[in-house]
């Protein structure tokens, strides 16, 4: 295995996704759907970065699913998501595609309606998971509402949206058993651990 490039910035992650043929191909499949804001998020990026930081070869076959997201207020039917999943399966049948319109996901998550895809991703459970990528004519763009510092430093921390849903965060994280695969992780399991300094707001980082 050739050495992976150093990962220090969001641009480094973009270059990694662009250079890896299998990852880039999946992003290109989403781009081919012609959606104005189609992204792949969550474990697709998180697992890739954590594998690289643990010195492991990137292997897309180890992805349990590929989370494709988009945002469309005009059509929140589940049938639309099913249709997009079917089209993606035709392009890459070896992947377990999961398509979710973020315009409706606030209902499942108990949040106020999301303004857009960026705002929806900002409400995901962990800062290291709240990342997404897309390909636009072959150029890779990574969106990270809370930055990529925790992701690159192997820190599992709840996003500010989970201040009052820490039981959900802990159940989710403990159910993943991430330390078995990535032993260098630092797991922050209480709110005081995650945010030791008192704060009244969290500045979303616009990347």
For residue 97, being part of any structural domain is answered with yes
The whole-model pTM stands at 0.91
Q: What is the pLDDT of residue 6?
A: 79
For residue 158, being part of any structural domain is answered with no
Domain CATH for 33:
3.30.460
| Inter-residue contact 23 to 57 (CB < 8 Å) | no
Q: What is the pLDDT of residue 4?
A: 54
Report how many domains make up the chain. 1
pLDDT tens for the chain, residues 1 to 207: 444 567 999 999 999 999 999 999 999 999 999 987 999 999 999 999 999 999 999 988 888 899 999 999 999 999 999 999 999 999 999 999 999 999 999 999 999 999 999 999 999 999 999 999 999 989 999 999 999 999 999 999 999 999 999 999 999 999 998 999 999 999 999 999 999 976 544 454 443
What would the DSSP string read from start to end of 59-128? -GGG-S-EEEEE--TT---HHHHHHHHHHHHHH-TTS-EEEEETTTHHHHHT-PPPSSHHHHHHTSSBTT
For residue 168, being part of any structural domain is answered with no
Please choose, from the candidates 72, 113, 63, 133, the residue with its C-alpha nearest in 3D space to the C-alpha of residue 92: 63
For residue 130, being part of any structural domain is answered with yes
For residue 107, being part of any structural domain is answered with yes
Q: What is the pLDDT of residue 5?
A: 60
Q: Which domain holds residue 39?
A: 10-153
């Amino acid at each position: 295995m050739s050495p992976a490039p150093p990962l220090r910035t969001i641009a480094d992650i973009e270059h990694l996704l662009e250079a890896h043929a299998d990852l880039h191909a999946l992003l290109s499949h989403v781009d081919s759907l012609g959606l104005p804001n189609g992204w792949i998020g969550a474990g697709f990026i998180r697992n890739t970065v954590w594998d690289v930081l643990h010195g492991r070869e990137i292997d897309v076959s180890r992805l349990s699913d590929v989370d494709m997201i988009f945002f469309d207020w005009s059509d929140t039917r589940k049938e639309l998501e099913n249709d997009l999943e079917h089209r993606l399966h035709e392009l890459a049948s070896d992947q377990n595609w999961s398509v979710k319109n973020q315009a409706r996901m606030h209902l499942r998550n108990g949040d106020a309606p999301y303004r857009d895809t960026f705002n929806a991703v900002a409400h995901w459970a962990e800062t290291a998971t709240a990342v997404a990528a897309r390909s636009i004519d072959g150029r890779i763009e990574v969106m990270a509402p809370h930055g990529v510092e925790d992701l690159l430093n192997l820190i599992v921390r709840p996003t500010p949206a989970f201040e009052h849903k820490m039981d959900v965060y802990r159940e989710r994280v403990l159910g993943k058993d991430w330390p078995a695969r990535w032993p260098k992780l630092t797991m922050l399991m209480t709110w005081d651990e995650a945010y030791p300094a008192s704060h009244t707001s969290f500045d979303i980082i616009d990347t």
